[in-house]
């Protein structure tokens, strides 16, 4: 799923394009002027821009380079009139990815969109992957990293699941660092400690005086994540009522803080993690359309295997810096011992054993 911006002053054109793009499963932003289009593209990492040539506040071709040089490096498709014989040549000469002529052919539009999105994904395959603190080279681990990298290059919601202690948080952090909102905030919500009575206020925020103890306004975690990543850790612990409220936010990115009369907007990348397979956990409820089911079915699922399935792998390099200077040798000597004990240790247990053995050297 990509973020696609339409900049065209004709309302019908914007509606037609929005319908076709939306049907492809992408997020659509539509603006009638260059000024508003540039403002959106500078605040949200856009993947693809449909740009009209003749706009009320300028010529689209003159702004083409400004769009393509944004941090997200979006591809630009120029919108031209069928009666303009030089439109295609001007568009390509100025660095456009493609051009489309009015009136549009839905099939041609779909083809152009799919080719552009596929090109961006393929281009991303050649980029180095930031592994953050993930250490190891086993085939299973590399597969997880590859899946994380692919997910990072798209705008899909992602669910990481696996046993407690396998390092799901490291993969979530790495995903954030490799995606288009890496320069934005990284907001963590610990669902296990989020009480149902305060979940709404913590997530959506509240207005001062909206309830007895609301002595000051609270922005809310969802708004804090605007322009970045919202990570719900252990989402299986989130009560169903809160999940249902969260569903609409994930679909529209709009919500109403407690006590407010107007909705607010927050554009964020959604990632969640669970130590349980949500599909197995809520399988009997699948037919009732409960929030938990819909949440997990809207995500890309990445399974993080336990350490027992990752021969030759232990996440301990960062611990060398944490334990202290001057003891790198003992850590190196006992790394092999830790790997041999992988069958019974998760990441946290392995790190604890490492500290204990180093201190007894």
Tens-digit pLDDT profile for residues 46-90? 889 999 988 999 998 889 888 988 877 889 999 887 655 566 666
Query: Tens digits of per-residue pLDDT, 125-141?
Result: 545 677 767 776 666 77
- Per-residue CA distances from 158 to 142, 175, 254, 299, 301 (Å): 18, 9, 20, 5, 6
Please state whether 35 falls in left (phi above 0), alpha (psi between -120 and 50) or beta: alpha
Give the whole-angstrom CA distance, residue 12 versus residue 326: 69
- Per-residue CA distances from 182 to 130, 153, 269 (Å): 11, 11, 10
- Per-residue CA distances from 294 to 216, 271, 274, 279, 287 (Å): 34, 14, 15, 10, 11
CATH H-level superfamily of 139-307? P-loop containing nucleotide triphosphate hydrolases (3.40.50.300)
Q: Indicate if 139-307 has the same CATH topology as 3-125.
A: yes
- Model confidence, pTM: 0.57
**128-159 as b/e: b if 16+ CB within 10 A:** ebebbebebeeeebeebbebbbbbbbbbbbbb
Secondary structure tally for the chain: helices H, strands E: 15, 14
* DSSP state letters, 48-89: EEEEESEETTEEHHHHHHHHHTSTT--EEEEEEETT-TTHHH
Q: Tokens 């936010």, residue?
A: 249
Neighbours of 236 (CB within 10 A): 21
Antiparallel, parallel or unpaired: β 58-59 and 54-55: antiparallel
Task: Write down the pLDDT at residue 126.
Answer: 46
Reply yes or no on whether the pLDDT at 197 is more than 90: no
Residue 183's DSSP bridge partners are none
Give the pLDDT band (50/70/90) at residue 293: very low
Percentage of the chain with pLDDT > 70?
Answer: 70
Give the whole-angstrom CA distance, residue 2 versus residue 25: 8
Distance from first CA to last CA of the chain, Å, rounded? 52
CATH H-level superfamily of 3-125? Response regulator (3.40.50.2300)
- Domain chopping of the chain, boundaries: 3-125, 139-307, 314-359
Give the whole-angstrom CA distance, residue 331 versus residue 329: 5
């Amino acid at each position: 799923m990509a973020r696609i911006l339409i900049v065209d002053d004709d309302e019908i054109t914007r509606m037609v394009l929005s319908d076709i793009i939306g049907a492809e499963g992408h997020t659509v932003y539509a603006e009638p002027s260059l000024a508003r289009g540039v403002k959106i593209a500078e605040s949200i990492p856009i993947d693809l821009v449909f740009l009209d040539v003749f706009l009320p506040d300028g010529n689209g071709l003159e702004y083409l380079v400004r769009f393509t040089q944004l941090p997200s490096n979006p591809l630009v498709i120029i919108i031209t009139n069928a009666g303009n014989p030089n439109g295609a040549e001007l568009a390509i000469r100025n660095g456009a990815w493609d051009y489309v002529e009015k009136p549009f052919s839905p099939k041609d539009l779909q083809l152009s969109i799919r080719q552009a999105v596929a090109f961006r994904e393929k281009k991303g395959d050649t980029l180095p992957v930031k592994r953050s603190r993930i250490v190891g080279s086993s085939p299973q681990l590399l597969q997880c990293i590859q899946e994380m990298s692919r997910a990072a290059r798209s705008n899909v919601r992602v669910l990481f699941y696996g046993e407690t202690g396998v390092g799901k948080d490291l993969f979530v952090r790495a995903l954030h660092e490799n995606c288009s909102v890496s320069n934005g905030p990284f907001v963590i919500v610990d669902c296990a400690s989020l009480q149902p009575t305060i979940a709404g206020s913590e997530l959506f925020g509240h207005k001062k005086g909206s309830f007895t103890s609301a002595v000051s306004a609270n922005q809310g975690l969802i708004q804090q994540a605007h322009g970045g990543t919202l990570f719900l850790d252990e989402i299986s612990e989130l009560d169903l009522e809160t999940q249902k409220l969260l569903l609409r936010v994930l679909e529209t990115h709009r919500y109403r803080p407690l006590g407010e009369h107007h909705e607010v907007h927050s554009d964020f990348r959604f990632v969640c993690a669970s130590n349980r397979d949500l599909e197995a956990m809520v399988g009997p409820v699948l037919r009732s359309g409960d929030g938990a089911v819909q949440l997990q079915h809207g995500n890309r699922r990445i399974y993080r295997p336990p350490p027992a399935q990752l021969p030759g792998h232990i996440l301990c390099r960062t611990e060398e810096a944490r334990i202290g200077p001057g003891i790198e040798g003992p850590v190196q000597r006992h790394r092999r011992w830790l790997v041999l004990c992988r069958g019974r240790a998760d990441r946290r247990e392995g790190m604890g054993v490492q500290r204990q053995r180093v201190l007894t050297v």
